[in-house]
Homo-oligomer: A and B are copies of this chain.
């Protein structure tokens, strides 16, 4: 569906402006379609993302600031987010032995289990969300990677 129809705006000053609005609108589309998957586990999209980051570490600890760097939403608060995950027993915090300022974060077995339950449904859901051919989605990824400079 054309963005112009979706938000009932007749035209944009130029295609760059349309692209900005289009990206904001499409993100909202994705988040709203994803939230129902996370809900049963009491996770927000960004909490799920942090669990994925930790899983990607395959056992290696990672500091709070490294998590922050790799989060999708740069403005959100890794420290408090990790605290929420800890309260749910999905991660543990350990004092970093080489630098006592830092805090090492590790995913727990329970955290890995939650991901195991979620990942396949998230993957198939994402495929359904992106109504494009293989070729088109590759093109989209290429354009997104390029546009950020």
User: What residues of chain A have their CB less than 8 Å away from a CB belonging to chain B?
Assistant: 1-3, 6-10, 13-32, 34, 45, 53, 56, 69-75, 122-123, 126-127, 129-132, 134, 136-141, 143-149
Contact = CB atoms under 8 A, between A and B. Distances in A.
A137 B28 contact: no
Given A126-B16, A144-B26, A149 B1 contact: yes
B15 A24 contact: no
Contact of A16 (B13, B20, B137, B148): B137
A1 B127 contact: no
B16 A145 contact: no
Number of copies: 2
Contacts of A10: 56
Given A29-B148, A127-B14, A130-B147, A141 B22 contact: yes
- Sorted from nearest, which 3 A-B pairs have the closest CB atoms? A27-B27, A131-B149, A22-B144
A128 to B, nearest CB: 9
Contacts of A34: 20
Nearest to A131: B149
Question: Which residue among A14, A138, A143 has the maximum number of chain B CB atoms within 10 Å of its CB?
Answer: A143
